[in-house]
Structure 1
Amino acid sequence: MVWLDPFAKYEQGLTEPADSRTGHKADRYCWGLLKSKPETTHAICLYNILGAEVTASNLVIAYAEPAGKDDISVTTVQYPITEKEKKAVDDWVQKLLELAYGKALRGKRLKVLVNPFGGKGTAASLYQTYAAPVFAAAKCQVDVEHTTHQGHAVDVAEKLDIDAYDAVVCCSGDGLPHEVFNGLGKRPDAHKALTQVAIASLPCGSGNGLTWNSFGTGSVSIAALAIVKGLRTPLDLISISQKDSRKLSFLSQSFGIVAECDLATENIRWMGAQRFTYGFLVRLMRQTIWPCDIAVKVEIGDKAAIKEHYAAWSTRPAEEDHDSKRLEAAALSPGLPELKYGGVTDDVPQDWDVIPGETMGNFYAGNMAIMSKDTNMFPATLPDDGLMDVVTIDGRVSRGTAITMMNEIPSGRFFDMPELNLRKASAFRLTPHQKEGYISIDGERVPFEAFQAEVHQGLGTILTKSGRLYEAEGPR
């Protein structure tokens, strides 16, 4: 017996559906289809419904059932039907699927890229075990390709038939999404490609920032369900300009202790996400500083004003035709946007703020709220408001204060700590004083030289659960 309740809350995440089958026809109940309902029923939340179809003699419903604490598995339930009932059942199935998917596209066409070398090297098995069954049950059209070398996903995205796929799904950490965004960005029709094709990620790497922000989970199976039910969401992308190059960033840009913790710990990838904590503590004990010059185009420089901006933007009325407007604009101007502020060799604009950087301990900028599991560092970050967070922390803070700041990240109190300097910005330039070191763009190492960042509002597209916000608790 399964009770499919259309009035059950449409949860945007793992629910607790139950399947209690007695095997007796009299005890079987499907809302709106069979009239008798037993006294004890269990609801399968509509969000967990993957598919339904009528076979020769049965109604078959596939849904996601909890399997342990942080996973779901594909389960089916069948109801016998007669030939006379088929027309009514067909109509009921269509209504069920409309309710179950809401505004989400059914049967998504997915280009799946698997990085078999990322994280702990388990992406291929994770995909086959936890994601593939979910996509199959949801009748997604799936084209799987394994990457063989660094930069392979750039080539795939650059040559992708963008009319053949609704989304590119990356089975990796944040490295493959970075490559896919940049591959799409290299195309003559970059604007169109970045708008038309959504990017999503299954958490198979060390950081998995895109998955945590989009779906709020580190579970491959729950993320797969979220992709199936995912809504197209505009995403700000950031141009990173250096002397001889221009890249796109979707997640973060860091210099100082965060960049060192990320890039200088590549040799201990076997530790998973714990390598970041280890790297942080080692460098904290040394109290290292990273001198630099910083200039920022500040748009909001006060934490209280940042909270007000978040509240206003996150509650604004949704635009029904927002996506179609973006696609129309992309068709009119298909290439990458021109750089409004030029490059690193140009003079710094006079209206930019110069920030002292002689004792810089950490510089971090980004347009996503969550860096990795338990690191909801910037809860006021929004996907498409045209602004990024620029964070600076003086390297002279005490070890105790630094550890306190790190411990306050999961609680959300990190945002209000006085040692955290936070600005909403549309652009910045950073010039290192040292000759050697690390600069991290989305977790990828770039040349250690001056770089400039500039936001392009709503240039990219991702899949999210809400269609509007990251899965992070906003600032209070």
Structure 2
Amino acid sequence: MSIPNSSEQQDTPLHDSTLLLDGPVSLTLGSDSLLIVDDVHKSGRGCCGLCRSKTKTTHTIALHNVLGAEVNPSDVEITFAQPATKNDVTVTTVRYSISEKEKSTVEKWVQKLLDLAYGTAQRRKRLKVLVNPFGGKGTAASLYQTYAAPVFAAANCELDVQNTEYRGHATEIAAQLDLDAYDAIVCCSGDGLPYEVFNGLGKRPNAREALAKLAVALLPCGSGNGMAWNCLGTGSVSIAALAIVKAVRMPLDLVSITQNDTRTLSFLSQSFGIVAESDLGTDHIRWMGAHRFTYGFLIRLLRQTIWPCDLAIKVEINDKKAIKEHYTAFANRPVDTSADRGRIEAAEQSPGLPELQHGTVLGELPTDWEIVPGTTMGNFYVGNMAIMSKDTNFFPASLPNDGLMDVITIDGTISLSTALSMMNEIPTGRFFDMPDVKLRKATAFRLVPHEKEGYISIDGEQVPFEPFQAEIHQGLGTVLSKSGRIYEADGPL
């Protein structure tokens, strides 16, 4: 049996963390790994098999990768996710024989192994899995069965898998789901399905309770997989499945979007201008995957188009240095796991969606909002998460539940060379500090397009090209997250 990350030198283990079995085999629990030492007997060469030598093999399994452990009548088995390639893991099991007299000791050791492997994460999660067979390149169903299903099964998750059949189907499912039957809704798709799920939960009479109780997670199977990159730190289906198994609940800010007399919820981003055009204007080349965004961006950049609008923002922090200080202070706060129960109890007492503090887009514009010139708008982009797609950490100062949106505005008359430089600096993290990138932390905004036709993108979904207003609600939603505190993205430099 091959086990990853071999190592020959380890610290001396604590006695109560080491399980000694006949063989001889020792299994030792470290702070972040399981060490297995196996003295393998081999026949010596040239002695007709009568001479035997001993070879010690040492293996290390990251505790994060341990999925399960079980004591059987004659052996102990440990199941884990073994790295298969740089971007994938496969389920692997090792077994070691035990005697009847060892069974009690082995059971206690296995319990300690699982306690360390899962930490504060919930075991045996009850997952409602929604598979969008039409999203991205149309491979979500096969990706789920091949890469995610074995990981969930090995972790003894309770699974209820359902294909979505049409646009908006996930919204209908989430609106009717039994809140007490599941711990999380896992979307096997791009970011479109989580958008539908949040809005389905938001349509319920007990919307706030539903959004607090049911966590949402994404298995990255679409052309844009922002939620997976932000919350799980990966674009790999199998590694994301492992991360979901070990993930903890995290409150997430959600944004109310009003247009005319409608109200919807946004979890990821809102865009108008070149980003919206690059996203929604490239639906005809979805076969290119994530590359279609880059292609669309470059084509529109060469045209140096502007998207005039009226823009007003409820600004809370408008200085980049202060924004960095805000990020550092928030990111260094300890995770308060006890607060989650209180949040759910509060939601049960006031179950409906929060009232809008600033009214809707149809009301009078509040007098204390900042008026931002928009006649030459090139890019209006608002992030509720940091990473919009692979290698695009567009909003490095974004935080999951600080009650603030990150609003970026870029003038459309900047030179082509400056615009190309901006694009190149996004992966390096230097985009944030570029002088032509205007950044504000805000709690609300209103945008009114001047033109009659164009694109507005909410979480990658097209909405009517008409005035819209946004208002953030701190910690209204819930996601599954690796850290439980911040996104899996580098903060501002």
- Is this a same-fold pair by TM over 0.5? yes
1:134-213 alignment runs, 5 A limit: 134-213=151-230
Secondary structure of 1:431 counterpart: strand
How far has the Cα of 1:381 moved from its partner?
Answer: 0.5
Match of 2:26 in 1: 29
Distance verdict in 2 for CA 1:52–1:475, change over 3 Å: same
Distance 1:300 1:19 in 2: 49
Opposite residue 92 of structure 1, the aligned amino acid is: W
Distance verdict in 2 for CA 1:59–1:2, change over 3 Å: farther
Cα RMSD between the aligned structures?
1.8
How far has the Cα of 1:413 moved from its partner?
Answer: 0.4
Opposite residue 350 of structure 2, the aligned amino acid is: S
Match of 1:452 in 2: 469
Secondary structure of 2:23 counterpart: helix
Distance verdict in 2 for CA 1:17–1:74, change over 3 Å: farther
Secondary structure of 1:31 counterpart: strand
Out of 400, 409, 413, the residue aligned to residue 396 of structure 1 is 413
Opposite residue 82 of structure 1, the aligned amino acid is: S
Distance 1:321 1:100 in 2: 20
Match of 1:70 in 2: 87
Secondary structure of 1:331 counterpart: helix
Secondary structure of 1:85 counterpart: helix
1:292-331 alignment runs, 5 A limit: 292-331=309-348
Higher strand share: 2
Matched, 1:283 2:280: no
Matched, 1:334 2:331: no
Q: Would you say the 8 A contact 2:446–2:467 is kept in 1?
A: yes
Distance 1:203 1:399 in 2: 33
Distance 2:57 2:148 in 1: 32
Match of 2:12 in 1: none
Q: Would you say the 8 A contact 2:37–2:57 is kept in 1?
A: no
Distance 1:2 1:84 in 2: 28
Match of 2:147 in 1: 130
Deviations 1:58-92 (A, max 9, x none): 10100010011110000000011112221111111
1:219-298 alignment runs, 5 A limit: 219-298=236-315
Opposite residue 186 of structure 2, the aligned amino acid is: V
Distance 2:141 2:38 in 1: 43
Out of 423, 432, 442, the residue aligned to residue 415 of structure 1 is 432
How far has the Cα of 1:19 moved from its partner?
Answer: 11
How far has the Cα of 1:320 moved from its partner?
Answer: 3.6
Opposite residue 165 of structure 1, the aligned amino acid is: Y
Matched, 1:427 2:460: no
Q: Which runs of 5+ in 2 are unaligned?
A: 9-20, 40-55
Q: Would you say the 8 A contact 1:2–1:18 is kept in 2?
A: no
Matched, 1:118 2:142: no
Q: Would you say the 8 A contact 1:253–1:366 is kept in 2?
A: yes
Q: Would you say the 8 A contact 2:35–2:60 is kept in 1?
A: no
How far has the Cα of 1:17 moved from its partner?
Answer: 4.1
How far has the Cα of 1:399 moved from its partner?
Answer: 1.1
Distance verdict in 2 for CA 1:35–1:383, change over 3 Å: closer
Secondary structure of 1:41 counterpart: strand
TM-score, length basis structure 1 = 0.94
Match of 1:9 in 2: none
Secondary structure of 1:323 counterpart: helix
Out of 392, 404, 409, the residue aligned to residue 387 of structure 1 is 404
Distance verdict in 2 for CA 1:35–1:379, change over 3 Å: closer
Distance 2:28 2:335 in 1: 31
How far has the Cα of 1:36 moved from its partner?
Answer: 7.5
Match of 1:7 in 2: none
Opposite residue 25 of structure 2, the aligned amino acid is: R
Opposite residue 443 of structure 1, the aligned amino acid is: G
Secondary structure of 1:157 counterpart: helix
How far has the Cα of 1:306 moved from its partner?
Answer: 0.1
Match of 2:63 in 1: 46
Opposite residue 293 of structure 2, the aligned amino acid is: F
Deviations 1:348-404 (A, max 9, x none): 111100000000000001210000000011111000000010000000011111111
Secondary structure of 1:149 counterpart: coil
Matched, 1:343 2:340: no
Opposite residue 31 of structure 1, the aligned amino acid is: T
Q: Would you say the 8 A contact 2:37–2:58 is kept in 1?
A: no
How far has the Cα of 1:317 moved from its partner?
Answer: 3.0
Distance 1:172 1:120 in 2: 10
How far has the Cα of 1:318 moved from its partner?
Answer: 2.7
Distance 1:221 1:56 in 2: 31
Matched, 1:466 2:468: no
Secondary structure of 2:311 counterpart: strand
Q: Would you say the 8 A contact 1:297–1:428 is kept in 2?
A: yes
How far has the Cα of 1:56 moved from its partner?
Answer: 2.1
How far has the Cα of 1:316 moved from its partner?
Answer: 1.7
Secondary structure of 2:470 counterpart: strand
Distance verdict in 2 for CA 1:472–1:36, change over 3 Å: closer
Match of 1:12 in 2: none
Secondary structure of 2:194 counterpart: helix
Opposite residue 344 of structure 1, the aligned amino acid is: V
Deviations 1:200-238 (A, max 9, x none): 000000010000000111100000000000010000000
Match of 2:16 in 1: none
Q: Would you say the 8 A contact 1:2–1:19 is kept in 2?
A: no
Q: Would you say the 8 A contact 1:2–1:29 is kept in 2?
A: no
Deviations 1:152-192 (A, max 9, x none): 00000000001100000000000000000000000000000
Bigger radius of gyration? 2
Distance 2:5 2:146 in 1: 21
Deviations 1:13-61 (A, max 9, x none): xxx54599xxx96353222799986554121011000000012211010
Distance verdict in 2 for CA 1:62–1:354, change over 3 Å: same
Deviations 1:280-332 (A, max 9, x none): 01101111000000000000000000000001111123324110111111011
Distance 1:101 1:364 in 2: 37
Match of 2:108 in 1: 91
Distance 1:309 1:280 in 2: 31
Distance 1:80 1:190 in 2: 51
Distance 1:190 1:407 in 2: 41
